[in-house]
Each structure stands twice: as structure tokens, then as C-alpha cells.
Structure 1
Amino acid sequence: MSQLNLIAIIFTTVLFLQINGDNENIPPKCQITSRFPKSITCVNATINDFKELLDKTELDFGPNTKVTFTDSIFYEITDDELFSNKMKDLTYNFRHNHIKIFHIDAVKHIDVFEYNILDSVTTSKTSSSSFNLYRKYLSDLSLTKNRIGSIDAKVFTNVSIHEINLSANELIDIKSQTFSNMHNVFKINLAHNNLTRLHEYTFVNFSKTSIYTPSKYYGLSTIDLSYNQLNHLEPNAFYNLENIERVDLQYNNLTSLNGAIFSQVNLTVLLLAHNQINFISMQFFENMESLYLLKLTDNQIKTLPSRLFSTLRNLNVLTLSGNPISRIQTDAFDGLHMLNTDFAGNVALSFGELNVPIIPTGAFNGLRMLTRLDLSNWNITKIETKAFYEMPQLKTLTLRNNQLTEIVPGTFYGLEKIDVIDLSYNRLTRLTREMFAGLNGTKFLTQLENENKDTVLTLKDLFMATEDIEKFGLQLILKHNAIKTIESDAFTYLANLKTLDLSENQIQNIPIGTFKGLKFMVKLDLHQNNLTALEKEVLYPMVRLADLNLAENHLETFDVRAIMEHSMNDAFKTINLNHNQWKCDELRLMILLLTENKVDFISSSPEYFDSHNVHGIRCIPSKDDDIEERLTHGGYARQSASGSDVSPELLFINYQKELVQNSKAQITVLIFLCFFYLLTSLLLIALYILRNKSYFNSLRHQTQRNQEFNQSTVELLNVPQ
């Protein structure tokens, strides 16, 4: 065993020295790491340098060996010069070289040919039809980012490759039959060139399969012509391309689409965005039943004529945004029965901002499968009756930010499955019953009753039977209009109304009975209106109301207790009372009731704790109300602001303590005042007595003096003369 190990060590050492010795003679411009290299990299090498390398008989190249030339010195690539003998079994990558002439005869040896100064692709003396197609599955030929300005006609004929990338070159014109009889190719990329037109029969005789085509490829399927200067398409430019699926013509200068250019192809994706298209002939979409996605974004289309898309029966996505469309004729979308919302994340029908003042009757006829329609920012002033009549699957209708001043009766006829209607940011001033005619919100209630024919459904039964209110509920958004008046029967047709947003309007009063029948209302937003009062009876019908927003009005009182008592199964959960005209004592009682019933109330920003407030909600104090002042600057409001919880029991006890302390203080002051009054009275009486005593003494002394004087006088008179 020891002898065998010694022999193995000696043999390995000799072999290593031999390989290293050979590598010492290999030109340093071409680097090889072993005798059986999988890759060779040549930098700044010439053809002779590489040929010298190949003469090393000790090196064994396999058919998968890849040779990369970078920054090398070549002027012309030919089959005879470079790809002979051992060279023909290798795969070559040419990046960042100085090659100017490329003979297509060499294509069977090259995978990548990028960043050169190539200015032409041509054939050598050897006919391209005599190519040796021994490489069945040659994948890609990349000639991108060169300076190719011309390609010989039929230069790619019978070349066996799957993808040709000629993007980012300087091509101005492509001759007829430049790409013909290419049995295996399935993608041609000509993007980012300077092409101005496509000739007839540019792409011809692309067979479905060949003996060299893998089963996953079925002939030419993708052509990318984006970012060129195309201004005209010849009628037969795409003639007989049976398997073509995707054509990209975006970012060109096309102004019109005439004739049935794609009538003999099975196109599924057609991209025409960012052109100057202002006219589409009625024949252009003929025989294009297989089209799935059509992109016409950012063109100059002004009118959508009737039945323009009537032959596109399988179209799922249509984009028209960025066009100056000002008119949509009746039945403009007729035939688009498969247009739907979900296709790789794309919106089925998109328009963007338009200027279409009038939506005529039947404008969207034919869109039977569409579930979402966004007409925001269209500058709409009028929608004619039954404009959405043939849209039974529509769930979301957005009419936001238009110029609507009224809704014509019958506008919403046919919307059987509508879930959301957004009319925000318009100019509506009045809500009437006729506006919502056709929105049969009682339909689902009828369905529930039919399912329970043998029983009488009470309100509680209906409540329990519709636990999944999301399935039936309607969201009606009327935010930021100029609504002042709501008729008492305005929502008669909306029995399935779930969310009603009336915020940012000018509503001053809501009559009792306005919300009659809205048993399934969950959210009502009335913030930023001019309400001065809201009667409790107005909200009574909404037994499932969970979220009520009354912020930014002029309310002084509100009966919270009555609303909670009429709430079924404690549905009432959240209320916003901020920025009203609440009295502090009234607001304090409301907060106590809300806290006791575990209803959330939304506090204002912290800066409002520096003014009169209850838990951050501004209020107006009464004249003799010093308790509110202590609530404002004491511990309760600040505890709420800091996030700590205050139980209703503790808050009530503290409040009672305040009342007792206040009463004691008042009694003390009263006793002090009484004592002071009594003491003052006694002092005054004493002073009065003292004053009177001095007077009587003085009078008595005066009387005595008078008596003595009289007596002296009498005695003097009685003295004898």
C-alpha cells in the first residue's frame, strides 16, 4: 500500500509540473486555469494570440467551453478566419472590442456580441444557406449596443437561433425579408433604433416548428419595436405571422392606425402607448379576437366612436389614460364583454384625467364583466339616464372630482352589484329620493325573506342573518360637495347602505326620518358641516351604527344615552365630538356615559389641553364653574392625554369629592360672613350705647350746674337791701 501511494504522489507531481510548465508558455493575454478549461478569458488579445493558445495540444476543449474576448483587437469576424479546426467547437462572447464588420456566417459560434463599434451585419462569400446547423438549441444572439446602421436582406435566413437582440443600434431601415425562414426564432428585439417605417413582408415564413425547435417554442411570438421613429406601418408588415403574441410599438411617432394590419395574426398583447395617434380606423381591429391587452396610453385620441372595439371580444385590459378624449359615443365599448379588473395587477379600463362634460346614455354598454370604473377628474357636468345600464357586475363607481350639480333620475339603473359610489368633490347642493332611483337596496332583504318564508323575520332576525354585512353593504361617499338640504326620504332606495360620508358640506339641519329604514348603517360621517343641533330621533333607525363623526360642527348638546340605548348588541363603538360648542358640564356627562359603556371618544391634539376641555375636547365653561378649571389644569385631563386610563368609578368619586369640598368652602364662607355681621352689629350697638351714656352724663352735669346757678341767683335776690 505504501508503494502504491508513493507512485501516485510521484505521478501527480509530474503531471502538475507538466501543466505548470505548459502554462508558462501560454500567452498572458489569455488566461487558463487547468488542462480541461471550462472558460477562457482574453484581454487585449489578437487572433494570433488565441490561435497560438489553441495550438497547445495538451489542452482539451469541450463543446461547452466559453471564450470571452474583452478589449481585444479585431476588425472583422469571419467564419474562415476565426472559427476553424478546434475553434469551431467553442462558444464565443465578444464584449467591448473594436469589431466593425460581422459576417453572419459566424453566428453559429457566438452567443454574445455587445458594446462593439459594429456598423454592419453582412454575409461572407459562403452562402448562409450552407450553414452547418449542428447547434440545435443555440439560444441567443445579442448584438445590442453596437453601431449597426444596416443589415443585408435575408442575412438571417435559415440561421438557427431562438432570440435576436439588435436593440440600441443605429438602424434606420430594415429591408423586406430581412427576417425570413427563421425556423427557431421566437423573439426579435429592435428597440432603441432609428427606424422610420416597416416595409411589407419584413417578417415572413416563420414556421411553427422545425426539427431543431424545442417543444416550448412555436415560432416567432414577440417583436419589440419600441423607442424608434416609426411613423407608418405598411399593411403587410406583419403578414402571416400566425404565432405572434406580443408586438411592442411604444414610444414611436405613429399618427394613425389604418387598415387591418394584424388581421392574419393571433396577437394577444399590442402596446401602442406614447405615440401621436389621433385616428383609428374601424378596420384596424378586424379579426383580432385573440387580443387580450391593448395599451393606447398617452396618444392624441379625442373621440371614441361607436363600436370601435366591437371585434375585441376577448380583451381583458384597455388603457386610454393620457389622451385628450372629449367625447364618448353611445356603444363606444360595445363588444368588450370580457374586460375585467384583474390581469397581472393592471386595471381593466383606465382613462386618467379627461375633459368629457357629458356622459351619454349607453356610453358603457357592453362592459358586462367590468367590476371597477373610475371616471375621476373628467370635468363631467351631466350624466344622462341609464349611462351605466348594461354593467351588471360593476362594484365600484368613482365619479370623484367632477363638476356635477345634480344626479339625473335613473343614472344608476342597472347597477345590481354596486358596492361603492364615490361622488366626492363635486357641486351637489341637494339630496333627493330620485337621485338614487334604480339602486334597489331592498333586494337583499327580499332575498333573506324568501329564504325564511315560513317564519316572520324580526329586526333581530335580520341582524343575525346578515352577519357578513360586507357582502351586501353599500358605501356612498358625498364628501366635499355643497350640500345644504337633505330631503326626509332621500335614502329610501338605499336600505343596504352601510357607510355614508356627508363630511365637508354645508348641512345645517337633518330632519327626523331622514335615515328611516337604514337598519344596516355602520358608519356615518357628518364632520365639518354647520349642524347646530341633532335630534336623537334622527339616529334611532340606525341600530347597527358603530362609528359616528360629529367633529367640526356647532353642536351644544347631544343625547348620547339615547343613541346607546337604541344600539343593538352594543354596536356603538366610536364617536368624534371634537371642535363643537359643548358646555363643559354637558360634555363631562357625555364622557362619563361613553366611558361607562366602553365607547371610544377621539381626543384632540395635545395643545387643546391648555384651554378649557374635557379629555382634550374643547368646551365652554359656565360662569361659576371652577371644577372644569381644575379638570383642565388638574390631573384628569392630563392623565387622559398621557394615555393612562381613568375608570368611570374613580372619575365619579373624584367629581363627588369636588362637589363636597366646594360645599364645605361655601358653608365656611357663609358662617364667617354671619359672624362678621354679628360682630359688627354688636360693635355698632356698643358704640351707640357708649355715645349715648356720655351724652346723658353731660346733660346731667349741665342740669346740676343750672340748678346750682338758679339757687345762687335766688339766694342773691333774697338778701335784704
Structure 2
Amino acid sequence: NLISDIGRGTFSAVTRIGTVDLARNLIKKVDFQMFQQVKYAEILNLAENNITIIETQAFTDLYQAVVNISHNALSTIETGAFVNCNNMTLLDFSHNQLSMISPRAFDENSYAYELQVSHNEFRNFSQIPIQNMTGIQILNVSYNQIESIPKLAFPKLYELHTVDMSHNNLSEIFNAVFQNLFSIRFLNLSYNSLELIKPATFGTIPTVLELNLSHNRLREISRGSLAKLVSCRLIDISYNVLEKLFQIPISLGELNVAHNNISSIKPNTWPTMNALLRLNLSDNQLTDSLQSDSFSSLLTLQALDLSANGLTKPPWEALSTLTSLQYLYLQDNNITELSRSAFGNLPTTFKIDLSRNQLTSVAQRAFNGLQQLLDLSLSGNKLENIPNEAFKGLVALRKLDLSHNFLEKIDNKTNGLLDDCLSLEEVNLSYNKIGFLTKKMFPSNPWIPYRLREIDLSYNEIPVVTHDLTLGAKKVKKLNLSGNYINDVRNNVLGNLTSLEVLDLSHNNLKDLVSRTSEIKFTLPENITELILSNNSLESLPTPNIMSSKYLKLLDVRQNQLTSFEPELVRKIKHEGLAVLFQ
């Protein structure tokens, strides 16, 4: 509304009111005793006004209320503004212009469980009055200009569990300043200007579970400075300039040191530990420095990220001790070839990502020792050819990504590259140079129950779809042939893909779905649910076949040369729920 003034006594007649919502008006100040008579209120919302000042005794006798004064122009809170306001659930001063709050703005009985003062103009942490807020649980002072956390910044607080000081200008933290916080669990100091963590910066804080120091300027973390955080489960020190690792708490479950300048991992860097499950070392400068003892103390590590480290070969010696490793990320390195048994023996590894390397060669049995591998990505490399038996031994592999390479074929006259992948369900061959679909491209054997369900051949150089596709794709449910040069689909090819549910033929050169090279009757897959034919040159549609497709729910024929829309399709839209995209 356009309310600009609230007089004293406005709410005297409705003393038991539960919610007062004055948000998005034109109020300029919270006047003396404005809310004196609403002691039963649960929500007082003054957000998004033009408030610049909160006067003395503006809020009195509140209990467990939410007070929201965010998104104003607040710069002044007078002495005694909050009187006898016990246990405020939330006090939100965020998105204002506060640079200080008088310690006498709150009397000894007034405090909030959650205090939000983010997005203000505080430079000095001591100007935030928490000395009397004995019951505070959450403190958010992010997005200010605070430069240091001084001695005695925090009184003894027994319930404060979350402190967010991110997005400030912090360059100094006084020794052991957080030790008065006896229940602190989550401490966020990210996006500041810290350069050094001294031995006593944190001291012994037995309750911290998560510590975020990311996006600072840290060049050194003193040995042992974090080791005393004995309950810590997650430490994030990514996006700093560290050149060496540091001692970590024995209880740590996840460590993120991505985007630093670490060039080596020295012996005895890690204690012998059973807790660390995830380690992110991506975007550092490790190159090929990893040795057999680099991770030998990490007995239960499950996920290791070594992407963007300048590796030129898989670090199989360093990996050989990781008997519990499940996820290995090696993308964005400079690996050029995979030799036989390139990863050694990793019996529990489920996923390996080698995308965006410089791979030109993959040897036969390159993945020996990876019996449980489920997901393999070789996308974005320079592969022109992969020899048969390269994937020999990958009997559990379900997902294979070979997209964005230079492959022209993946088979020869007698065998196919994928024949050894008995459990393969999804293969991505998009953005290659495959010209023809051949009989051995996809595995087929009457005595082997292959499981291939999804094929992506988009953006290759395929001119025609022949019957050879049907040999290995009879169980495929999703087939993407978009972005090729297809001008003909041989009749009954689609009809023989009896399990097919989703077919994408968009962005090709089709003028007609019914082939002119054969007299065999044209049919659609009996289980088709989505047929995407957009961006072709179709002049007509096989309307009888579409009408008889009882499961078809989506037909996309946008950007074609169609000049009419069959009335039969209108009936199918109306009575059977067919969605047609037509332009």
C-alpha cells in the first residue's frame, strides 16, 4: 500500500493480534511505542519500506516473535529500542545501511534466537551487540565490510551453533576467539581476505562440524592449526593460494582443497584414518608427482577428484592403495594414452571420468582390474579409433560416454567394440564422425542378454538409417539421431525397434518418413511415446500410422514444410491427449 505513518495506539484495540504485515509500504520510521500493545504478536513484518530509524521503546513486551525489518534504509537504532523482547524467534535487519548498533539498543531481557544483519555496512564486529544475547543460536553477518574478529568478540554463548561471516574483508582473526562458543557447529568464513591460519587461530573447538574457508587468500595453514577440531566432518579451503597441504582432523569426512597451488603430496601428509571419504584436489599443480604412498593412509577414501592437475598419465601407483575407491575424476588433464591395465587394480571403483583430456590412443584391455566399473566417460578427447577389446573385462559397465571425439566407426566386419560390455545400458556417441550404421556397431547375440536401452548418435554424419541398426537396438527405448544428414529411413526399420519409446530425428534432411526405396509397408514402433521430427523438410506425415500408435503422447513437427494439418490428428489430440508441436 502507500502507508507512510503508523501512530501511537494504532493497535490498542487489537491487543491479541497474531500477525502485523506492513511490508512494501512507505513507512519511514518505527516510532516511539509503535508496537507497545501487540505483545501477543507472532510476526511483525516491516520489510521493504523506507525505514531509516527505530526509536526508543518501539518494540516492547514481545515473546517468541519474528521481527522483519529487512530491505529498508535503516541506519539508526536508538537506545532502548527493544525492551523486554524475550526469545525473539528471528530478528532480521538484513539489507539495510547499519554501520553500528548501540549495545544499549536491547535491554538485558531482549535477545533473538536468530540475528540477521547481512548486507549492511558494518566494519567493526564489536558494533554488533551480542553481549547480552545469551540465547542466540544463529548469527549471520555476511556481506558487510568487517576486517577483523577482535579479542573477546564473543561472550560465553552456550547455544550459538551457526556463524556466517562470509563475504566480508576479514584479514585477521584473534587467537582462540571462537572458544567461547560452546555449541558452535557451522562456521563460514568464506569470501574474505585471510592469508594465514595461525596455530592458535581456532585452538581447540570440540563441537565444530563444518568449516568453510574457501575463496580467501590463504597461502599458509600452520601445521596442527586445524587438527584440534576433533569433531569436524567437512573442511572447505578451495579457491586459495596454498602451496602445501596441512594436518587434518582425524575425524574429517570430506576435504575440499580445489583451486590452490599444491604441487606435491609429501609422505606422512595424512594420518592413518578411516573417516575421510571424499577428497577434492582438482585444479592444483600436481602433474605426475603422485607416488605410491601419496594416499596410502586414507584407508576408506571413496571419492577422489584429481581433475585439472596437468596429469599426463593415470597415477596408478598412487591409486593402488585405495582399495575402497568408488569415484575417480580425472577430467581436464593432459592424458594422451591409456596403456594396458592403465589403472591397476581398483576392485570397488564405480565411476571414472576422463573427459576433456588429450587422449589419442586406448590399448586393448586398458581397463583391466575395474570389474565393478559402472560409468565411464571418455568424452571430449581426440580419439579417432578404439580397438576391439579395449573394454574387455568391463562386464558391469552400464554407462559409456564417447561423445565429442573423432570416431568414424566402433566395429570391424566380425566384432564390435561394445561386445564385451555385457551390462551396458546407455552409450553416447554424439558429436563424432560416424557415417554409417553397421551390423556390429551395437552388440547382439541370441545367447547373451544384452541390456542396451539408450543410444545417442546425434550430430554425426549419418545419411541413411538401414536395417543394420535393428540387430543391436531391438531392446533400445531411447534413440537420438538428431543433427545428422539423414534423408532416408528404410521402411520397417522403425517398426522392428519394438521396444523404442523415444525417437529423435530432428535437424536432419528428411522429406518423408516413408522410404521411396522400398515397397515394404511403413510402420512406427509399437511402443513409441515421443516422436521428434522438428527441423526437417517434411511435406507430409504418415497420419494412419500416427493414428494407430496407441501410446504416442508427443509429436514434434515444428520447422518443416507441412502445409496442412490432418483432421484425424485433431481428434487424437482431443480424445487421446496427444501433444502436437506444429509451426
Question: Which residue does 2:113 correspond to in 1?
Answer: 139
CA gap 1:405/1:310 in 2 versus in 1, 3 angstroms: farther
Shift of 1:43: 6.4
* Percentage identity across paired residues of the two chains: 18
Shift of 1:335: 5.6
Task: Write the distance in 2 (CA, Å) between the matches of 1:226 and 1:299.
Answer: 15
Task: Write the distance in 2 (CA, Å) between the matches of 1:243 and 1:101.
Answer: 36
Q: TM-score when scaled to structure 1? A: 0.54
Q: Which moved more, 1:111-120 or 1:406-415?
A: 111-120
CA gap 1:591/1:305 in 2 versus in 1, 3 angstroms: farther
Shift of 1:381: 0.9
Shift of 1:33: 1.9
Task: Write the distance in 2 (CA, Å) between the matches of 1:426 and 1:172.
Answer: 46
Query: 2:194 corresponds to which letter in structure 1?
Result: L
CA gap 1:238/1:34 in 2 versus in 1, 3 angstroms: same
**Would you say the 8 A contact 2:216–2:240 is kept in 1?**
yes
Query: 1:171 corresponds to which letter in structure 2?
Result: I
* Matched pairs, number: 514
Query: 1:195 corresponds to which letter in structure 2?
Result: L
Shift of 1:154: 12
Question: Which residue does 2:233 correspond to in 1?
Answer: 268
Task: Write the distance in 1 (CA, Å) between the matches of 2:470 and 2:108.
Answer: 83
Superposed CA offset, 1:458-512 (max 9, x none): xxxxxxxxxxxxxx85646466324568454564633444555666336789798
Q: How does 1:224-263 map to 2 (within 5 A)?
A: 224-263=188-227
Question: Which residue does 1:191 correspond to in 2?
Answer: 166
Say whether residues 1:413 and 2:391 are aligned partners: no
3-state SS in 1 of match to 2:420: coil
Task: Write the distance in 1 (CA, Å) between the matches of 2:142 and 2:322.
Answer: 39
Task: Write the distance in 2 (CA, Å) between the matches of 1:557 and 1:45.
Answer: 74
Q: How does 1:294-305 map to 2 (within 5 A)?
A: 294-303=255-264
Shift of 1:358: 1.8
CA gap 1:337/1:555 in 2 versus in 1, 3 angstroms: farther
Question: Which residue does 1:494 correspond to in 2?
Answer: 421
**Would you say the 8 A contact 1:475–1:500 is kept in 2?**
yes
Task: Write the distance in 1 (CA, Å) between the matches of 2:268 and 2:179.
Answer: 32
Shift of 1:397: 3.3
Question: Which residue does 1:592 correspond to in 2?
Answer: 520
CA gap 1:424/1:149 in 2 versus in 1, 3 angstroms: closer
Task: Write the distance in 1 (CA, Å) between the matches of 2:42 and 2:502.
Answer: 72
Task: Write the distance in 2 (CA, Å) between the matches of 1:401 and 1:112.
Answer: 46
Say whether residues 1:222 and 2:222 are aligned partners: no
Among 400, 414, 433, the residue aligned to 1:505: 433
CA gap 1:36/1:594 in 2 versus in 1, 3 angstroms: closer
Say whether residues 1:481 and 2:445 are aligned partners: no
Gaps of 5+ in 2: 543-560, 569-583
3-state SS in 2 of match to 1:188: strand
Say whether residues 1:361 and 2:316 are aligned partners: yes
Question: Which residue does 2:553 correspond to in 1?
Answer: none
3-state SS in 2 of match to 1:151: helix
Task: Write the distance in 1 (CA, Å) between the matches of 2:117 and 2:509.
Answer: 75
Query: 1:520 corresponds to which letter in structure 2?
Result: Y
Task: Write the distance in 1 (CA, Å) between the matches of 2:487 and 2:128.
Answer: 83
Superposed CA offset, 1:34-83 (max 9, x none): 1674699996588xx65xx99xxxx8785979999954487xxxxxxx78
Q: How does 1:29-428 map to 2 (within 5 A)?
A: 30-34=8-12, 37=15, 71-72=52-53, 99=76, 111=91, 115=96, 117-119=98-100, 138-144=112-118, 145-149=120-124, 151=126, 156=131, 159-207=134-182, 219-265=183-229, 266-281=231-246, 283=247, 285=248, 287-289=249-251, 291-303=252-264, 313-320=274-281, 323=284, 326-327=287-288, 329-330=290-291, 332=294, 355-365=310-320, 371-383=326-338, 385-389=340-344, 391-428=346-383
Gaps of 5+ in 1: 1-26, 75-81, 125-130, 208-218, 341-347, 442-471, 616-637, 646-721
Superposed CA offset, 1:503-538 (max 9, x none): 6336789798995756526477778468999997x9
CA gap 1:384/1:480 in 2 versus in 1, 3 angstroms: closer
**Would you say the 8 A contact 1:297–1:321 is kept in 2?**
yes
**Would you say the 8 A contact 2:115–2:139 is kept in 1?**
yes
Q: Which has the higher contact order (CA 8 A, sep 6+)?
A: 2
Say whether residues 1:439 and 2:394 are aligned partners: yes
Task: Write the distance in 1 (CA, Å) between the matches of 2:43 and 2:402.
Answer: 64
**Would you say the 8 A contact 2:154–2:178 is kept in 1?**
yes
Shift of 1:237: 1.7
3-state SS in 1 of match to 2:255: strand
Q: Which structure features the higher share of helix residues?
A: 1
Shift of 1:196: 0.7
Shift of 1:303: 4.8
CA gap 1:590/1:364 in 2 versus in 1, 3 angstroms: farther
Task: Write the distance in 2 (CA, Å) between the matches of 1:373 and 1:599.
Answer: 38
Question: Which residue does 2:547 correspond to in 1?
Answer: none
CA gap 1:236/1:643 in 2 versus in 1, 3 angstroms: farther
Task: Write the distance in 2 (CA, Å) between the matches of 1:66 and 1:549.
Answer: 54
Shift of 1:603: 7.3
Superposed CA offset, 1:612-668 (max 9, x none): xx98xxxxxxxxxxxxxxxxxxxxxx99996799xxxxxxxxxxxxxxxxxxxxxxx
CA gap 1:349/1:542 in 2 versus in 1, 3 angstroms: same
Task: Write the distance in 2 (CA, Å) between the matches of 1:376 and 1:498.
Answer: 23
Question: Which residue does 2:557 correspond to in 1?
Answer: none
CA gap 1:206/1:97 in 2 versus in 1, 3 angstroms: closer
3-state SS in 1 of match to 2:170: coil
Question: Which residue does 1:625 correspond to in 2?
Answer: none
**Would you say the 8 A contact 2:491–2:522 is kept in 1?**
no
Question: Which residue does 1:607 correspond to in 2?
Answer: 537
Aligned-residue CA RMSD (Å): 6.0
Task: Write the distance in 2 (CA, Å) between the matches of 1:498 and 1:489.
Answer: 19
Q: TM-score when scaled to structure 2? A: 0.64
CA gap 1:486/1:306 in 2 versus in 1, 3 angstroms: farther
Task: Write the distance in 1 (CA, Å) between the matches of 2:344 and 2:192.
Answer: 42
Task: Write the distance in 2 (CA, Å) between the matches of 1:334 and 1:412.
Answer: 22
**Would you say the 8 A contact 1:505–1:529 is kept in 2?**
yes
Shift of 1:419: 3.2
Shift of 1:407: 1.5
CA gap 1:352/1:608 in 2 versus in 1, 3 angstroms: farther
Query: 1:414 corresponds to which letter in structure 2?
Result: G
Task: Write the distance in 2 (CA, Å) between the matches of 1:581 and 1:134.
Answer: 77
